[in-house]
Amino acid sequence: MSLSAPTLTTERLTLRPVREQDRDAIVAIQSDAAALEFWDEPAWVDPARFERFLARSREMAERDEGVRLAVVDNDSAEVVGWCALNDWNLTFRSVRLGYSMARRVWGQGRGTEAAQALVGWAFTDLGVNRVQAEADTRNIASGRILEKLGFTLEGTLREDCVVNGVVSDSWVFGLLRREWDYRPSPR
Ligand SMILES: CC(C)(COP(=O)(O)OP(=O)(O)OC[C@H]1O[C@@H](n2cnc3c(N)ncnc32)[C@H](O)[C@@H]1OP(=O)(O)O)[C@@H](O)C(=O)NCCC(=O)NCCS
């Protein structure tokens, strides 16, 4: 199977492949060190980092490894975040979810809305059986997104990450196809 990054539309958002014109918006998001306090790598200090990000986004799709999508607000047409499916494993039918939203839109349900669309695509179009997500155990907002989407907290990876010298634990969350298909509605 060959991956082509999709375009997904929700009530407030459009998720579509990352492109060159997204540079300023993505650089702003990934350079916000305070917002990325619980991210698993340091905030960007060099805007040129975007070129690597874009190249890697394309490479991921070409190699069937996953997708990265810009999250665009339907009203303003602004890029307000990005999300990803990483490490797609065709044999295990599993993939890992990630997301990063601009601080100005936090707390409005957009992170959940974007993640929900991407998870739905993973189950229905990518045909995975399991979506996994890890989050720093201090990242309450991320844990809450996963909880709202029906993920199960499966465990804790102790001292999993070291970012700027800070050692942190990670939660591991998992959501299975059958749980997605039979999830209670509305969520
Ligand atoms: C994690 C992140 C994507 C959340 O985005 P968002 O758009 O604010 O998410 P939502 O509004 O959909 O949901 C966040 C939920 O967390 C809750 N929340 C946020 N901070 C909280 C806190 N300190 N304590 C309790 N709940 C909190 C919100 O109230 C909301 O829950 P609710 O809908 O039940 O009220 C955003 O904070 C972000 O991009 N952070 C930086 C990158 C990052 O950490 N990504 C995740 C890596 S695992």
In-domain check, residue 186: no
| Confidence (pLDDT) at 2 | 56
- Residue 89 domain-assigned? yes
187 within a domain of the structure (yes/no): no
Tens digits of residue pLDDT in 94-112:
999 999 999 999 999 999 9
What distance in angstroms lies between residue 108's CA and the mean position of ligand 1's atoms?
9
In the prediction, which pLDDT does 53 show? 98
User: 91: CA distance to ligand 1 center in Å?
Assistant: 32
Backbone angles phi, psi at 145, to 5 degrees: -55, -50
CATH number for the domain spanning 29: value is: 3.40.630.30
- List, run by run, the mean pLDDT of 10-residue segments along the chain (187 residues): 84 98 98 98 97 97 96 98 98 98 98 98 97 98 98 98 97 97 68
Give dist(CA 183, CA 163) in Å, integer: 35
Distance, CA of 9 to chain centre: 16
Residue 97 lies in a domain: yes
What total of structural domains would you count in the chain? 1
Q: Please report whether residue 79 resides in a domain.
A: yes
Q: Quote the pLDDT of residue 11.
A: 98
Sign of CA dihedral 101, 105, 106, 107: negative
Strand segments, DSSP code E, in the chain are 8-9, 13-17, 67-73, 79-89, 94-101, 130-136, 152-163, 166-176
Q: According to the model, what pLDDT value does residue 88 have? A: 97
Residue 170 covered by a domain:
yes
Full residue range of the structural domain in which residue 60 is found? 8-181
Tell me if 139 CB under 6 Å of ligand 1: yes
Residue 178, both tokens: 């059958």
| 127 torsion bin: left (phi>0), alpha (psi -120 to 50), beta (else) | left
Contact assessment for residue 145 and residue 111, using Cβ atoms and an 8 Å cutoff: yes
pLDDT digits (tens, 9 = 90+) for 33-69: 999 999 999 999 999 999 999 999 999 999 999 999 9
Distance 72 CA to ligand 1 centre (A): 18
- Do the domain assignments include residue 13? yes
Per the structure block, which two tokens stand in for 177? Answer: 């196809």
Atom 18 (ligand 1) nearest CA:
141
The Cα 75–Cα 80 span in angstroms is 11
Q: Is residue 92 assigned to a domain?
A: yes
